[in-house]
Amino acid sequence: MTESFVMTLGRDALMMTLLLGAPMLGVSLVVGLVVSLFQAVTQINEMTLTFVPKLLALTLVFVLLGPWMLQQIIHFTVRLFEMLPYMVQ
C-alpha cells in the first residue's frame, strides 16, 4: 500500500462525505436563513419556529435523496471491498 494509494483513498472518502452531506447542509442553511429573515421581519422570537421547518425540510430531502445517497454509499463500499487485496499487500 503506497502513499499515493492512501492519499487517494482518503480523498475519495472525504469527497463522499462532502457529496452526501452537502444537500442536507445546504437545505438546512437555506431554511434557517428564510426562517431567520421571517423572524426578523415579524419580530417573533420563538425557538421552535426555527427547529420545526428545518426538521421538516431535512426529512423531505432525506426522503427524496435517500435512495441516491444509499446507492452512493453502496458503490463506495463495493469499491473498498474490491480494493481490499491491494490494501493488504
5-8: which pairs have CB atoms within 8 A and are 24 or more residues apart?
Answer: 5/86, 5/87
pLDDT score recorded for residue 86:
81
pLDDT score recorded for residue 45:
83
pLDDT score recorded for residue 2:
84
pLDDT score recorded for residue 85:
87
The ranges of the chain with pLDDT < 50 are none
CB 46 within 8 A of CB 36: no
Distance of alpha carbon 49 from alpha carbon 44, whole angstroms: 9
pLDDT score recorded for residue 50:
84
